[in-house]
Amino acid sequence: MLEVRNLRKVYGEEPGGYVALEGISIDIAAGEFLCLLGPSGCGKSTLLNILAGFEEVSAGSVMFDGRPVKGADRDRMMFFQDAGSALLPWLTVEENVRFALRARRVPRSQWDDIITRYLSMVDLNNHRTKFPAELSGGMRQRLQIARALAVEPRVLLMDEPFAALDAMIRRRMHAILTDIWQRSGQTIVFVTHDIAEAIALADRIAIMSVGPCSSFMKIMDVKGARPRDMGDPASSAMFAEIERLLTPEIRRSEERLG
C-alpha cells in the first residue's frame, strides 16, 4: 500500500545541509502495524511526516496505492502526540467525534452508529455529554484515539502518542489501540523510542540508526499472539537483540550531542 524507495531527506541546501535520512526503503502492507523505532533525533518524525505528505523528499519516492504522495490527503491521517490539544474544548465528547465525521464528510446517516461504536470501544459511552476539561488525561487520550479511528483513515500515523502517559495507562492504551486496529483492518505506522512498546504493538519493527544519514539497520518481524508479555522468552530475546543493536547508536548520538 505504501512503497518507500531509496528515500533521502536533506534539511537546508545541498551541499552543506543536514542529511536526516538516506537510503530508506520499505513496503508497508495494507492492515499492517509497523513501528519505527530508534533513538532521539534519528529521523522517525521526519519519516512519518514524509509518509503523511507534510514534508517533501529530497530524493527517492513514496507511493501510496501506486501513486506518488504529493501532500497530505484524507486517507493518511496523523495522530499528534500532544494529548488534548487537538480536542475542541467547547464541544462535548460526542460532539468532538461528530465534528471529525462531518469534516471528513462521512454520511450523516452513519454518525450515530459510528459514535456509539467507537466511544464504546474506548469506554467513554457514559461520558458522551462531558466536555474535555471534565475528563482525566487518560480519558482525553482515549477520546482522541476514538475520534481518529472513527473517521477510518486507511493509514493512521502516530508519533509517540503515549510517551507522556504513565505505565499502567499506557498498557491500557496499547490494548485499546490493538483491539480497534484488529477490528478495523487499518494500517498503522507508529513511532516510538521504547523497545517494549514496539514489541507489544507491532507486526514489524523498523530499527533506525542515528543520523546524519539515518537508515534502517534492521526490519524485524514480531511473532506471537497479542497481548504480548515481555516476560515470555520470545519477547525478551527480541528485546535483548534490539537493545544490542541500539546501544552503540545511542552512545553515538550522545557523543554527537557532546
Least distance to ligand ATP, CB of residue 211, Å:
5
* Separation CA 165–CA 111 (nearest Å): 30
Least distance to ligand ATP, CB of residue 44, Å:
4
* Separation CA 96–CA 110 (nearest Å): 15
Mapped onto helix, strand or coil, the DSSP state of residue 100 is helix
Residues that bind ligand ATP (CB under 6 A): 11, 18, 20, 38, 40-46, 193, 211
Least distance to ligand ATP, CB of residue 46, Å:
3
Least distance to ligand ATP, CB of residue 15, Å:
15
Contact 79, 85 (CB under 8 A): no
Instruction: Tell me whether residue 18 or residue 90 sits nearer to ligand ATP (CB atom).
Output: 18
Least distance to ligand ATP, CB of residue 9, Å:
8
Q: How many CB atoms lie within 10 A of CB 74?
A: 11
Instruction: Tell me whether residue 46 or residue 144 sits nearer to ligand ATP (CB atom).
Output: 46
Instruction: Tell me whether residue 95 or residue 160 sits nearer to ligand ATP (CB atom).
Output: 160
Instruction: Tell me whether residue 94 or residue 159 sits nearer to ligand ATP (CB atom).
Output: 159
C-alpha cell, 49: 511526516
Dihedral angle over CA of 46, 52, 53, 56, nearest 10: 10
Say which residue the cell 519516492 belongs to.
61
Instruction: Tell me whether residue 100 or residue 201 sits nearer to ligand ATP (CB atom).
Output: 201
